[in-house]
Amino acid sequence: MAENDRIQTRRLSKAEVDKNFTDLHPPLPRSEALIEADRCYFCYDAPCTTACPTGIDIPSFIQKIRSDNIRGSAHTILSENIMGGMCARVCPTEILCEEACVRNTHEEKPVEIGLLQRYATDPIFEDNMQLFERAESSGKKIAVVGGGPAGLSCAHRLAVLGHEVVIFNRDKKAAGLNEYGIAAYKTIDDFAQTEVDYILSIGGIEMRNDAPLDAASGLAALSEEFDAVFLGIGLALSNQLGIEGEDLDGVENAIEYIAQLRQADDKSQLPVGRNVVVIGGGMTAIDVAVQSKRLGAEQVHMVYRRGPEKMSASAFEQALAKTSDVSLHHHASPERIVGDRHVTGIEFSGGLTLDADVVFKAIGQNMDGSGFDSLQTESGRFVVDDNQRTSMTNVWAGGDCVVGGEDLTVSAVQHGKIAAIDIDRQLRKA
């Protein structure tokens, strides 16, 4: 994002920016964690567990917190979700486990499951306390393409089961969107890499960063070299608006700016517009809008083509935007971006016109299918069965790149786990 008289660095001091990017949900101290754990009814047929995509036994891990068995609590969580630390920070618990909590009524709030999960897992990651042991070597070797949540989950479970794994990761760092695509105030202190280090510490996993798959021969070559292949390639390409003015300076992909922000040593040095417009209604749109405000933008508008009930961003995220002084507009589609070399405004349906020196596109992403012509796809994503198998023998896939994939870390982790269990089952039959 090039600087001009409207786009500047240091709109706020470094101290102000650092304060704006402190932990969104600070961890619970022990006294509060015990009080919150006591609120759990420990339901026998717990709806919160059913609502968790990874099937964590939530009453069990909360019961162990009550008895100060933090190691046991963390083991219950991480056995089902090896990225339980990150999910405790970024999972939309308000529409999953906490929404299903029997205490979630008009009279009282649900048990704060996400914060309790963080309370149990943080000490494990901080001390790199290994809770798992590898099985005897199987002699099998699996390639994992993609170092995001799906790939890391798959690799860890395969390593625990005794297999050797090589992860081919196109980015300079592992963790995918956990490292590059999530708001900085949700995951502070480089936690994404702390979690990666813990996952790799099990052994048997070779991480090859900055190693994109060769589009011409990559999949075929991996299928020849390895006993199985798992694809967790995510959605690398940003969707386009397809309107006049989209190529003007100042029109940016939200996910790319969030990545810059996450990798910045000094966030106050990032260029920030005075008037920012975000197009989209999902988590990424909320993240870039709120972060722009926290970096010092004077006006931030978020515009979505449908009503608030259709937004993929949760009610909590929408409320976060409003309390961060982001203006939300609904039922308005972008029609034309205005400017002379640099954007100055944007016109929407319904007569809405907004001044803008930065326009962020946050309208979703799609998969880069280069080199995967041999696999069945639907709507630009891989078709898989209930075990995450693709149409090609010995190739599995999971995460956002599969049909039905969601923009959720927890869902990607589950896909990787399911695939690893099935890969292990199939290889041991061979």
Interval 331-358 mean pLDDT: 97
Is the distance from CB of 206 to CB of 167 less than 8 angstroms? yes
User: For the CA atoms of the chain, what is the radius of gyration?
Assistant: 22
Q: What pLDDT sits at residue 217?
A: 73
pLDDT at 218: 87
How would DSSP label each residue in 239-260?
A: ----SBTTTSBTEEEHHHHHHH
pLDDT in tens, 11-54: 999 999 999 999 999 999 999 999 999 999 999 999 999 999 99
d(CA 342, CA 428): 59
Q: Which residues pair with 276 in a beta bridge?
A: 300, 358
pTM: 0.96
What CATH topology corresponds to 239-364? FAD/NAD(P)-binding domain (3.50.50)
Over residues 187-207, mean pLDDT: 97
At the fourth CATH level, which superfamily is domain 141-236+367-429? FAD/NAD(P)-binding domain (3.50.50.60)
Does domain 30-126 fall under CATH 1.10.1060.10? My reply is: yes
Least confident range from 73-87, 204-218, 306-320, 397-411: namely 204-218
Q: What is the tens place of the pLDDT at every residue in 203-255?
A: 999 999 999 988 667 899 999 999 999 999 999 999 999 999 999 999 999 99
**Confidence (pLDDT) at 2:** 57
CA-to-CA distance for 286 and 324, rounded, in angstroms? 10
Assess contact for 375 and 360: CB atoms under 8 A. Answer: no
Q: What residues does each domain of the chain span? A: 30-126, 141-236+367-429, 239-364
CA pair distance 77, 58, nearest whole angstrom: 8
- The reported pLDDT for the residue numbered 12 is 96
Identity of the residue numbered 261: L
Structure confidence at residue 3 (pLDDT): 54
What is the CA 106 to chain-centroid distance, rounded? 30
Evaluate whether 141-236+367-429 and 239-364 have a shared fold.
yes
Average pLDDT across the chain, whole number: 96
